[in-house]
Chain A
Amino acid sequence: MRFLRTEEQREFARALDGMLGASGVPAAARAWAAGEHKPGRALWARIARAGVFGLAVPERHAGAGLLPVELTVAFVELGRHAVPGPVVETVASAAFLDRLGEAGAAGAAAAGEWLPRIAAGDAVLSLAAGAPYALDADAADAVLVVEGDTVRRTDAHGPVQPSLDPARRLSRPLGGTVLARGPEVSAAAAHARDLARLATAAQSLGLGRALLAATVAHVKQRTQFAVPLGSFQAVKHRLADALLALELAEPLVYAAALAVAAGARSAGREVAAAKAAAGEAGYVTARTALQLHGAVGYTEELDLSLWIRKARPLRDAWGTPTECRARVLAG
């Protein structure tokens, strides 16, 4: 047992962190929120070149294989930098299509069409499964819509509905053609949902880490009553609690990734536990970040708003904490 990231995994995280830090993500996120997708797509291409989407695509479709642990490492970094776009939905679509492809001809054709493009960063997919809205359908090349044991593919959608996080653009997918029908669709959707949950949990974790770091920096530098805010105990204790929540969520997230990688029977439960804990930790940290920044934290101008507004939707996407707890209890 060696429950530590390998040197390779840490190096991958550092490289992504450096690349994203130099890529003007906040500007791309603001443009994305305004419906201007060009800078976001350019960012997408860089993320693909770094190998991230290939981690969800098997080698026979020009990917690196489904590697949940490395994918988790990557999504922590995407969360840390508040990258916009349906990144989770794209990797979950890849997992879905791959499973479907194994099950029969209809799926195999779709997998052959989309998986190499996903790995290369040429295709942005959205996935709606059990929710009325698709994320970023207006930016996606296609939306997969799972309803019961049927999956449709469409590129039509209703008007974009403004959302709490303007960089998460929600709309109803419309029409489309049936790709496949049958129990294999439900099975592939369950697998995709676990991967989406895992990637979302990792994003929440990274988002929380970034919010905590920014807030620690702020309270060291901002003075009131002639001393730094960070010397007040009430301030310290909120930040200590945020750190504790993140530190304890992190091993759950990596253990869930290992369970998914091993195809363990416990994977669904472990992923749900990780999602509940990481989602709450990211959100609690966002609340703390906002509170300790005071009014400046409440302004849109401050880039921190990009992170703060993401925390709640990420906590609830692909399974609210309540749904995840129910999954944990179900055993």
Chain B
Amino acid sequence: MDLGFSAAEHAFRDEARSWLAGHVPAVPLPSLETAEGFAAHREWERTLFADRWSVVTWPEEHGGRGASLVQWLLFEEEYHAAGAPGRVAQNGISLLAPTLFEHGTDEQRARVLPPMASGDVVWAQAWSEPEAGSDLASLRSTATRTPGGWLLNGQKTWSSRAAFADRAFGLFRSDPDTARPHQGLTYLMFPLDAPGVTVRPIGRLDGKPAFAELFLDDVFVPDADVIGEPGQGWRVAMSTAGNERGLTLRSPGRYTAAAERLAALWRTAPAGTDPALGGRVADALIGARAYQLFAYAQASRLAAGHSLGAEPSLNKVCWSELDLALHETALELLGPYGALSDEADEAPAHGSWAEGYTFALAGPIYAGTNEIQRDIIAERLLGLPKGRR
């Protein structure tokens, strides 16, 4: 049992820290949930990629550094501590890429991964449908065989940043006659500007136009863009979901940095601030440290050749609740300034917590709601009997 880092790990951390110190924009970029901010963040992805910091764990041939999971955790700690911009490429990098590493072909990896790493192609996730949210397997959009490929029809929704993204990946029903809804699904990639695709932006709770609804009308996808075997889409998607819920979507560095920011806010709180709030600040520090250590233990287990199974569901509930509690505490500490949106002139003077708060509100919903994660924890980690769903 050891929490010390190797010389190589220290060196990696130091290199990341000094690169970030020299490159993180001095003025925060506009929100990546707007057209202007999306473009600015795409440029930031190019900057990261130019010095091979965009996908550090990938093999060098695809633009990475072949870094270990522990090195990635350290990189993320440095990244968030430096206040670096949010990652507009994250859906591709943390959801599609692991799926391609596990289920894709060499040709797909060679074609798809480098432009993803450079920010030239930004990906959107097209899973949810109007009638298929928590019960994703009830999805109805179809993929129908056609010479050389498939024709997609149907509707997807709540696709983050699909209003600005280039391509999407999602699940489609390719065999309507199977006994169970999880069978007969196929996992495909498609361009958002293909003939037959209509993208309709949807405003979010914070008014930003970054969600989108996708209408698909005989959209052609070549066989080369099917991931895994046709009909096996559920299995392919579940490996993606493990990544989405687990470490790689939300690294602990994000929360350790936010908890430190919160502690700083507490230390400068005006006289007369309710001391009970201090307890909540401490809980945020403790929670962020716990998640960081939990991730170190997971990385150690993976390095020792174990797999995580349903454990990512624990991560998902943990980080989403931590994020929300942390931001709620910040708003309360800010008192009257807690009501300012980040666009307010005076918001930066008070630390700009509003966008983070609004986004934290979504944490218990996306990536599989926390109710569904608790079912998975109870059934798969504790062995309780399946109930009605």
Contacts and interface: CB of A to CB of B under 8 A. Distances in A.
Is chain B found bound to chain A in the same assembly? yes
Interface of A: 1-6, 9, 69, 212, 216, 219-220, 227-228, 230-233, 235-237, 239-241, 243-244, 247-249, 251-252, 254-255, 258, 273, 276-277, 322, 325-326, 328-329
B296 A251 contact: yes
Given A3-B296, A243-B381, A325 B283 contact: yes
Contact of B382 (A227, A228, A239, A276): A239
B290 A216 contact: no
17 contacts: A1-B299, A1-B300, A216-B384, A228-B384, A232-B387, A233-B375, A235-B384, A236-B387, A237-B375, A240-B317, A240-B378, A251-B296, A276-B286, A325-B278, A328-B282, A328-B285, A329-B266
Contacts of A276: 282-283, 286
Q: Chain B: interface secondary structure?
A: helix
B290 A9 contact: no
Interface of B: 1-6, 9, 70, 263, 266, 278-279, 281-283, 285-287, 289-291, 293-294, 296-297, 299-301, 303-304, 314, 317-318, 371, 373-375, 377-379, 381-388
Contact of B278 (A5, A248, A277, A329): A329
B263 A3 contact: no
A229 to B, nearest CB: 9
Contacts of A239: 378, 382, 384
B377 A244 contact: yes
Given A4-B300, A236-B374, A325-B279, 13 more contacts: A3-B2, A3-B293, A212-B382, A216-B384, A231-B385, A235-B384, A239-B382, A243-B314, A254-B1, A258-B1, A325-B282, A325-B283, A325-B286
Of B5, B294, B371, B378, most buried by chain A (CB within 10 Å of CB) is: B378
Nearest to B278: A329
Contacts of A219: 384
B377 A9 contact: no
B45 to A, nearest CB: 29
Contacts of A5: 1
Name, among A9, A232, A251, the residue most crowded by chain B CB atoms within 10 Å (CB to CB). A251
A233 B383 contact: no
Contacts of A255: 3, 289, 293
Contact of A248 (B5, B291, B388): B291
A230 to B, nearest CB: 4
A1 B296 contact: yes
Contact of A322 (B279, B384, B387): B279
A240 B374 contact: yes
Nearest to A273: B286
B3 A248 contact: no
Nearest to B377: A240
A322 B282 CA distance: 9
Contacts of B373: 240
A248 B1 contact: no
A28 to B, nearest CB: 30
A261 to B, nearest CB: 9
A231 B1 contact: no
Contact of A230 (B314, B385, B388): B385
B304 A4 contact: yes
Contacts of A216: 382-384
B378 A237 contact: yes
A169 to B, nearest CB: 31
Nearest to B263: A329
B282 A1 contact: no
A325 B278 CA distance: 8
Given A276-B282, A329-B263, A329-B266, A248 B384 contact: no
A1 B3 contact: yes
Contacts of B378: 230, 236-237, 239-240
Contacts of B266: 329
Nearest to B266: A329
A1 B4 contact: yes
A236 B379 contact: yes
B266 to A, nearest CB: 7
Contacts of A1: 2-6, 9, 70, 296, 299-300
A237 B379 CA distance: 10
A247 B314 CA distance: 9
A5 B283 CA distance: 26
A2 B282 contact: no
Contact of B387 (A9, A231, A248, A325): A231
A251 B5 contact: no
Contacts of A212: 382
Contact of A252 (B5, B293, B382): B293
B371 A258 contact: no
A328 B286 contact: yes
A9 to B, nearest CB: 7
B290 A277 contact: yes
A2 B314 contact: no
Contacts of B4: 1
B1 A240 contact: no
Contacts of B5: 1
Looking at A3, A220, A322, A329, the one whose CB has the most chain B CB atoms below 10 A away is A3
Contact of A4 (B1, B290, B294, B371): B1
B318 A240 contact: no
Contacts of A228: 384-385
Given A1-B70, A252-B289, A9 B283 contact: no
B1 A69 contact: yes
A236 B376 CA distance: 9
Contact of A3 (B279, B289, B297): B297
Contacts of B1: 2-6, 9, 69, 254, 258
